[in-house]
Amino acid sequence: MRFLTLSTLTIFAGGLLLAADSQTVTYIDGNLADLAPNTGATLYLNSPQSMELRTPLHKVQVPYGQISKAELGAVQVHSSEPEAFYKVWALPKRLMKSETQQMTVAFKDGNGLNQTMTIELPKPAASALVATIERHSAKVAESTWWGDNYWKTTRNRDTWGGAGTVAQK
C-alpha cells in the first residue's frame, strides 16, 4: 500500500513539474534596463495574461496584450567538441547537433515605454513560443498574415514602396 502511494505521489509531482511551462533562454540584446547582454534566464509561460523572464536578480513581466511584434531570427547550429573516433560512446554526440533560434519581442512596459528584447532559445521552443504569443495577443496575430507578402492591402500600405491601389473583395 505504501509503495502504491509513493509511486502515485511521484507521478503526480512529475506531472506538476511538466505542467510548469518554462524554458531556459539567453537574453542576447535589447533595451531592458535591468538585464545585461548574454544573460542566462528562465522564461515562464504559466500565466494566461503575461510571460515572465526571470534571472537570479531580476524579473521582467511581459503582458501578452502589450506585445506588438514577435519575430523569429536566425537559426544557429551548435556542435560539440570533436571526440576521438575510438570513443564509440561519444557517437551520439557526434551525430546530434543542437539548434537554437533567436527571437525578437517588442512590447510596452508598465510605464508605456517601448521595449525590445532578443532572446535565444532551442528551435522547437522558439516556434512554440511564437504560437503561444499569437494565441494570446491579437495584435501579433493580426500583423503576421502570409498574404501581406503577395498582395497590397490596407494592412500593409506602409510597405508598398510607392503608389498603388488597394485590393478589393
Q: What's the rounded Cα separation, in Å, for the pair 46 and 67?
A: 17
Q: Are 35 and 55 spatial neighbours (Cβ–Cβ below 8 Å)?
A: yes
pLDDT, one tens digit per residue, over 121-157 is 998 898 888 888 888 876 665 666 667 677 777 767 7
pLDDT, one tens digit per residue, over 7-56 is 665 665 554 444 457 889 999 999 888 888 999 999 998 888 889 999 98
Q: What's the rounded Cα separation, in Å, for the pair 61 and 129?
A: 15
Per-residue pLDDT band for 111 (boundaries 50, 70, 90) equals confident
Residue 107 has pLDDT above 80, yes or no: yes
Q: Which domains does the chain have, with CATH numbers?
A: 20-144 (2.30.29.30)
pLDDT at 14: 53
pLDDT at 19: 47
**Beta strands per DSSP E along 55-97:** 59-63, 67-78
Asked whether the CA dihedral 122, 124, 127, 128 is positive or negative, the reply is: negative
Closest CA to 104 of 59, 135, 77, 69: 69
Q: What's the rounded Cα separation, in Å, for the pair 56 and 139?
A: 31
User: Where is 75: in which H helix or E strand?
Assistant: strand 67-78
Q: Are 104 and 71 spatial neighbours (Cβ–Cβ below 8 Å)?
A: yes
For residue 62, the tally of other CB atoms under 10 A from its CB is 20
Q: What's the rounded Cα separation, in Å, for the pair 121 and 142?
A: 24
